[in-house]
């Protein structure tokens, strides 16, 4: 009985030390909030610094949108692309106040690190508020998060992506896939205008 009592504090300490790294791996693999399932969210939340967020917006307009103005605000590189006729062109962000820049930076940081579906929806609303014309239905949007990978056996670097796609106002998950194949599929899908 004395041995069991002596092991209880060590067992609790071991769980408190070992659970956050295990929880990080589970949260990253299954894309759930680090505050769920007994997580110590503040300790288990990955920073997502190596990940990048890319937004692809369907453009079915007849006007020529191939010329793109340079981005003037601080935004993640390769942030928003307009997809039209099988081609993805970088879009310039609208002028943003410092508060809007901080909010956008915070939102993209949350998407990179936590990947919660509500964050993807919030980014979709942010894009709609700044780009959708009155009376038009919101465009099809794909938000992808890329994670760089390194294959030491083949000596190659590549990226895996996952994310969400909004069509007809409904969000659906884009399962993890290689970056190039996911980009080809999404570009074809977003190029198919009604």
Sheet containing 80-84: give its strands across.
Answer: 87-90, 80-84, 52-58, 141-151, 156-167, 170-178
Q: pLDDT of the chain along its 194 residues, tens only?
A: 788 888 888 888 888 888 878 887 787 677 676 777 776 666 656 666 778 899 999 888 764 444 444 444 444 444 888 888 888 888 877 778 889 888 888 888 888 877 788 889 999 998 888 765 556 778 889 999 988 888 888 888 888 898 999 998 899 988 888 888 888 888 888 888 87
pTM of the shown model? 0.69
H/E run at residue 146: strand 141-151
């Amino acid at each position: 009985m004395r041995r069991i009592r002596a092991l209880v504090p060590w067992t609790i300490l071991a769980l408190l030390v070992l659970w956050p790294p295990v929880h990080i791996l589970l949260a990253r693999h299954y894309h759930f909030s680090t505050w769920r399932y007994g997580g110590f969210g503040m300790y288990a939340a990955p920073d997502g610094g190596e990940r990048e967020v890319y937004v692809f917006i369907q453009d079915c307009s007849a006007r020529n949108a191939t010329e793109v103005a340079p981005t003037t605000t601080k935004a993640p590189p390769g942030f928003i692309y307009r997809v039209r006729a099988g081609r993805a062109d970088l879009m310039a962000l609208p002028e943003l106040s410092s508060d809007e820049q901080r909010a956008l930076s915070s939102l993209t940081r949350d998407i990179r690190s936590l990947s919660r579906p509500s964050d993807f929806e919030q980014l979709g609303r942010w894009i709609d508020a700044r780009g959708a014309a009155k009376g038009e239905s919101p465009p099809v949007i794909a938000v992808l998060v890329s994670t760089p990978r390194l294959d030491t056996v083949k000596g190659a670097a590549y990226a895996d992506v996952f994310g969400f796609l909004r069509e007809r106002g409904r969000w659906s998950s884009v399962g993890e896939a290689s970056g190039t194949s996911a980009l080809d599929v999404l570009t074809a899908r977003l190029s198919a205008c009604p």
